[in-house]
Amino acid sequence: MDIKRVIDAAVRKRMARGTVSHIRATMHRIFDKAWREETIPENPVAKVKLPALRRVKKKRVILADDEVMKLWGCEDASLEIRLMGLVARCEGGMRTRDVTAWNWTMVDCVGFSSCIVPRTKTGKPQRLDIPSVLQVPLRRWWVSKRSPVAGPVFPVTGGNRKGEARLPRGVSFGERLRRALHVAGVRRHTCAHPNVRPTAGAPGAHSCRGAAGRRRVICHSRGGRRQIPE
């Protein structure tokens, strides 16, 4: 296997610096084990250094209260995303991993008056009351899942692991949240590019030429944008 070719291919695809680093680290572990077991004479990944990649720092964006209420009040937006946000906001500031680790065994499924927050970062579970604003939507979510007595509150929704608990790491709801915000009409992006024209198949999006005029930019009202070659 040409290790450098694999790394270069990831760079050409414009993968994030952390992703490229993860690819190299994974290959290093695999070949290191084979080398230590004397299956191969050396670890080929050790000779390949991670290329210098520009680290992209994005400004943190926090939703205003009126934007949060607009999302929660939109019935067309993803119910799961809205309920996750409500749970995280109401139950002592649950982290993403706390939400994905939440199990029905931790919830009072009779009166929906209390629950246990796993607190995965500290490893010290905490019992909290379930506020009235969360009791009804959480009960409805439980009923929609056929009133389970155990299992993840927010399981995997597709693929081979559908219905199972989400993985401890590498889980992100960023893209789904952006889509839900777009559906709810929460839009902050105003395009100032020239030659704007609507984009077929992408509601609320349009295409325009960048300043250099060499690439076409797909701008989305929800704030994200993607560059593709002409």
Report the pLDDT value the prediction gives residue 188, as an integer from 0 to 100.
Answer: 72
Residue 124 lies in a domain: yes
Residue 69 lies in a domain: yes
Residue 56 lies in a domain: no
Residue 57 lies in a domain: no
Q: Are residues 72 and 41 in the same domain?
A: no
Report the pLDDT value the prediction gives residue 181, as an integer from 0 to 100.
Answer: 93
Report the pLDDT value the prediction gives residue 222, as an integer from 0 to 100.
Answer: 39
Report the pLDDT value the prediction gives residue 214, as an integer from 0 to 100.
Answer: 40
Q: Which of 42, 46, 58 is nearest to 3 (CA)?
A: 46
pLDDT digits (tens, 9 = 90+) for 21-67: 999 999 999 999 999 999 999 999 999 988 887 776 777 778 888 99
SS3 225: strand
Report the pLDDT value the prediction gives residue 132, as an integer from 0 to 100.
Answer: 94
Report the pLDDT value the prediction gives residue 56, as an integer from 0 to 100.
Answer: 67
SS3 20: helix
Q: Are residues 137 and 216 in the same domain?
A: no
Torsion of CA 29, 32, 37, 41, to 10 degrees: 150
State whether the Cα torsion 87-90-96-100 is positive or negative.
Answer: negative
Residue 55 lies in a domain: no
Q: What is the value of pTM for the model shown?
A: 0.60
Structural domain harbouring 176: 65-182
Q: Are residues 93 and 126 in the same domain?
A: yes
Residue 178 lies in a domain: yes
What's the token pair of residue 225? 């944008």
Domains: count for the chain = 3
Under-50 pLDDT residues of the chain: 199-203, 207, 209-218, 220-230
Q: Are residues 115 and 38 in the same domain?
A: no
Q: Are residues 157 and 204 in the same domain?
A: no
Report the pLDDT value the prediction gives residue 52, as an integer from 0 to 100.
Answer: 83
Burial 59-83 (b: 16+ CB within 10 A, else e): eeeeeeeebbebbbebeebbebbbb
What DSSP string describes 160-209?
TTTTSPPPSSS---HHHHHHHHHHTT--------SS-EE-TT-TTEEEEE
Residue 59 lies in a domain: no
Residue 141 lies in a domain: yes
Q: Are residues 77 and 177 in the same domain?
A: yes
Q: Are residues 74 and 152 in the same domain?
A: yes
Q: Are residues 167 and 194 in the same domain?
A: no
pLDDT digits (tens, 9 = 90+) for 54-76: 776 777 778 888 999 999 999 99
Q: Are residues 75 and 173 in the same domain?
A: yes
Q: For residues 103 and 157, is the Cβ–Cβ distance under 8 A?
A: no
Q: Are residues 70 and 43 in the same domain?
A: no
